[in-house]
Chain A
Amino acid sequence: MIEITDLHKSYPVGNRKLHVLKGINFSAQEGELISIMGSSGSGKSTFLNILGILDEGDEGKYLLDNTPIKNLSEKVAANYRNQFLGFIFQSFNLINYKTALDNVALPLYYQGVNRKERLEKSLFYLEKVGLADWADHLPSELSGGQKQRVAIARALASDPKVLLADEPTGALDTKTSYEVMDLIQQINDEGKTILIVTHEPDIAKMTKRIVHLKDGLIIKDERIEPVKAMANV
């Protein structure tokens, strides 16, 4: 599903270069639930953004579903993001003047799905995250956990191949975090490939595989038996 070889990325800082990713080799199969761990500033988000085609590496190869990701035009990149990827952010990033339902429907809108089908699908995914009754509410009327669940429904709406989540529980309290992780585990159980960036070990333990990042390199890549989030709620 994902195939990364010798990925490098640096940022210009002043007139120096900050080498953030220093040769990453990584692959992920369909159906995996992977957490990317590391301390703050270790390059987790940079890595995830490259996976999400929001950014591009300086060197190295990236195959997404056997498609080489290299020098894409903005238009093609938008297409791939829309078809292959679903994003979940730490700060939810819902559009504040749109209802929960319309937020979920947005990726479908950019796919050109007609309104009726769009709303049907969106409602289906809202139901899936347990928020069908909140469809007409604005984000400001939802709790943090509810917002993140709407965001998850939105990420699922376009039925992407991979879900990418950058600190999805970073803004939530522990109990709510576990509820969100439970939802993520359920979605993974249905076969969706999911990558989560986190710096919280307890969250990482709820995934099937932990990739440790330090100083721009993968220092450890372990498969574990995931802790059931439900058990901790």
Chain B
Amino acid sequence: MNRLFNKDLWDEIIESISSNGFRTIITAFGVFWGIFILVLLLCASNGFQNGIKGQFEGTSSNSIFIWTQGISKAYNGKPKNRWYNFKLKDVQAIEQNVPGLKTISPRNRLGGWGSSTIISHEENNASLTVEADFPELITQWAMDIQKGRYLNQSDIDLKRKICIIGYGAVDDLFKKNEEVIGSYIKIQGVSFKVVGVYKDATMIGKRNFDLQKKIFVPFTTFSQVFNYGDRVGYFFITGEDGIPIKESKDKILEVLKKQHDIHPDDDRAIGTNGFYKAFEKFEMLFLALKSVSYFVGILILGSGVIGISNIMLIVIKERTKEIGVRRALGAKPSAIRKQILLESLFLTLTSGMAGIAFAAFIAFLANIMIDKIPKQDALLSNVSVDLPTVGIALLILVISGLFAGLIPAQTALKIKPIEALRTD
């Protein structure tokens, strides 16, 4: 190793590379270009990933919806084909039995899943969805409060008849320029005071206008006013960071089955929809993008490497005599091999690092431009390479540099000094 960093050896290498200056630059460009494309593609796929992740910001992807369905197996003396409801006390049961959960939100929807209710304000009517929730929901689901406030604990404790409405519902119920906050709307004949206007900021919310038209009321108020007792329509549960909800899912279902006398093998009784699933798809997409980047980049890099290998071969043919002289002066074959491998490595690494640097510079410029676009509209954000990626690129360079030198080195070793020195 010590001999690898020998100044003399590197003097030799730089000397012999620079004696072929122009051609060297032309060839090195192939590697420069390959690694440039590779790193730039990786930058772009990183940026895309960051962009998409940014779109999901504030929404906990590590979440799951759980709802009741018809029971399909008789159990514990109870018949099949019966219906049941989750209860508020289930929350405690889950909390006590399933570790690694951050938030358990019991929720209700007026009329049940897929229902909407006629809501009125003065002479305006609209058919909208009414959700009963606890204040914690906003930590799980990204909502921008545009006016007023969201639910709080005293709303729950005092069972206040208040609501937060979606900005999409405002147009349906209110006249232009009418003051929304403090006004009253009627839900099934019961008046609720509007205390806030939200905008659904999730990726889903942007593409689904219905999500911008909901009415959120305190869970306790809802239960009392609409006679839901301790019933819970469905749960929205978020796992702690680093503990995938996917892994807690079975334990949650087990608890719920026990709570409601459901046969342990009755898989149809409880419906679930992992919010994480959408992310898994994106993760797959990111992975595919990365793979394509590596594939394309390495292909281009490969042609650059072949170029370097070729030029080294030509140079060696031209330097046959020089190599013969060196051998006659006492150069061991290993010294010749080392010199050629290092020449190739040096060429590959310097041109490759120039490519990485140039790609990083372009990414830097791209970032400046992207930062000018409003964040919510940008599909790309923070276009950059991380250190591991640079590390991998360098590793690829070292390997391909050695690879490029292999055949020329082998060729050089075959040169017999006597043949190289023959004058005729």
Which residue numbers of A lie inside 8 Å of B, CB to CB?
Answer: 49, 52, 54-55, 74-75, 78-79, 81-83, 87, 89-91, 93, 95-98, 106-107, 109-111, 115, 154, 158
- For A155, give the chain B residue with the smallest CB separation: B329
Chain A residue with Cβ nearest B334: A75
Known: A95-B325, A111-B330. 16 other contacts (CB 8 A): A74-B333, A78-B332, A82-B329, A89-B325, A93-B324, A93-B325, A93-B421, A95-B326, A96-B19, A97-B18, A98-B15, A109-B8, A109-B12, A110-B332, A110-B335, A158-B329
Instruction: For chain B, give the interface size range.
Output: 20 to 34
State A95–B325 Cα separation when bound (angstroms): 8
Contact assessment for A110 and B331 in the assembled complex, using a CB-CB cutoff below 8 Å? yes
Whether A158 lies near B330 (C-beta < 8 A) is yes
User: Is B327's CB within 8 Å of the partner chain A?
Assistant: yes
How far does the Cβ of A165 sit from chain B's closest Cβ, in whole Å?
12
Choose from B7, B328, B333 the contact partner of A87 (Cβ within 8 Å).
B328
Once bound together, how far apart are the Cα atoms of A70 and B334, in whole Å?
21
| Bound CA–CA A12/B12 (angstroms) | 37
B312-354 interface bits toward A, Cβ cutoff 8 Å, 1 = contact, 0 = none: 0000000001101111111111110000000000000000000
Scan residues 122-137 of chain B and give those whose CB is less than 8 A from a CB of chain A: none
CB distance from A43 to the nearest CB of B (A): 14
Contact yes or no, A54 B328, CB < 8 A = yes
Question: CB within 8 A of B19: which of A87, A97, A110?
Answer: A97
Q: Please name the residue on chain B nearest to A170 by beta carbon.
A: B423
B16 within 8 A of A: yes
A-B complex: 10 closest residue pairs judged by Cβ atoms: A82-B330, A97-B19, A110-B330, A78-B332, A54-B418, A107-B329, A93-B325, A74-B333, A55-B418, A81-B330
For A110, the chain B residues whose CB sits under 8 A away are 326, 329-332, 335
CB of A87 within 8 A of CB of B423, answer no
In contact, B332 and A89 (Cβ under 8 angstroms):
no
Q: A93-B321, A97-B15 are in contact. Are A78 and B423 (CB under 8 A)?
A: no
Residues of B within 8 A of A78 (CB): 327, 330-333
Among B16, B328, B421, B423, contact of A81 (Cβ-Cβ < 8 Å) = B328
> CA A106 – CA B19 in complex, angstroms?
17
How many angstroms from the CA of A107 to the CA of B330 in the assembled complex? 6
- In the bound assembly, the distance between CA atoms of A47 and B249 in angstroms comes to 87
For B100, the chain A residues whose CB sits under 8 A away are none
Residues facing A in B175-220 (CB within 8 A) are none
> Contacts A78-B327, A115-B7 known; A54 to B332 CB distance under 8 Å?
no
Q: How far is the CB of A134 from chain B (nearest CB, A)?
A: 19
Q: A95-B322, A97-B15 are in contact. Are A154 and B329 (CB under 8 A)?
A: yes
Task: Give the residue name and chain of the A residue nearest to B9 (CB).
Answer: A109
CB distance from B233 to the nearest CB of A (A): 83
A52 to B15, CA, bound (A): 28
Cβ–Cβ < 8 Å partners of A95 in chain B: 322, 325-326
Contact A115 B331 (CB under 8 A): no
Provide the B1-44 mask, 1 if CB < 8 A to any CB of A, else 0: 00000011000100110110000000000000000000000000
Do B332 and A75 have beta carbons less than 8 Å apart? yes
Q: Are A74 and B332 in contact (CB under 8 A)?
A: yes
Is B417 among interface residues, defined by CB-CB distance under 8 A? yes
Q: Shortest beta-carbon distance, A118 to chain B, in Å?
A: 8
Interface residues of B, dominant DSSP: helix
Among B326, B328, B331, B417, the one with the most A-chain Cβ atoms within 10 Å of its Cβ is B328
CA A91 to CA B328, docked complex, whole Å: 14
- A81 contacts across to B, CB distance below 8 A: 327-330
Known: A95-B322, A95-B325, A109-B8. A49 touches B330 (CB 8 A): no
A81-B328, A90-B423, A115-B8 known; A54+B417 contact, CB < 8 A: yes
Check if A89 sits within 8 Å of B421, measured CB to CB: yes
Task: Please give the distance in Å from A47's CB to the nearest CB on chain B.
Answer: 12
Provide the bound-state CA to CA distance between A113 and B329, in Å.
Answer: 14
Hey, which chain A residues are within 8 Å of B417, CB to CB? 54
- Chain B residues contacting A52 (CB-CB under 8 Å) are 328
Contact of B418 among A49, A82, A97, A154 (CB under 8 A): A49
Contacting residues, chain A, for B15 (C-beta < 8 A): 97-98
Q: In the complex, which residues of chain B have a beta carbon less than 8 angstroms from the beta carbon of A106?
A: 326, 329
- In the complex, A106→B15 CA distance in Å? 13
19 A-B contact pairs sorted by A residue (CB < 8 Å): A49-B418, A54-B416, A54-B417, A54-B418, A55-B418, A74-B333, A78-B327, A78-B330, A81-B329, A82-B330, A83-B330, A89-B421, A90-B423, A93-B321, A93-B325, A97-B15, A110-B326, A110-B331, A110-B332
Which residues does chain B contribute within 8 Å of A91, judged by CB atoms? Answer: 423
Give the complex CA separation of A52 and B16 in angstroms: 27
What distance in Å separates the Cβ of A186 from its nearest Cβ neighbour in chain B? Answer: 22
What is the bound-complex CA distance between A104 and B109, given in angstroms? 93
Instruction: Report the bound CA distance from A128 to B331 in whole Å.
Output: 25
**CB-based nearest B residue for A55:** B418
Question: How far, in whole Å, are A110 and B12 apart by their CA atoms in the complex?
Answer: 12
CA distance A52 to B416 in the complex (A): 13
B325: chain A residues within 8 A (beta carbon): 89, 93, 95
Instruction: Give the CA-CA distance A231 to B2 in the complex, in Å.
Output: 53
Closest to B329 in A: A107
**Measured CA separation A177–B361 after assembly (Å):** 61
A55–B19 Cα distance when bound, in Å, is: 30
Chain B positions within 8 Å of A90 at CB level? 423
B20 → A minimal CB distance (Å): 9
Least Cβ distance of A76 to chain B in Å? Answer: 9
Contacts of B329 in A (CB 8 A): 81-82, 87, 106-107, 110, 154, 158
- Chain B residues with Cβ under 8 A from A109's Cβ? 8, 12
Question: Which parts of B272-307 form the interface with A (CB within 8 Å)?
Answer: none
- Kindly report which residue of chain A lies nearest to residue B16, judged by CB atoms: A97
Q: Which chain B residue has the least Cβ–Cβ distance from A98?
A: B15
How far is A52 from B12 in the complex, measured between Cα atoms in Å? Answer: 25
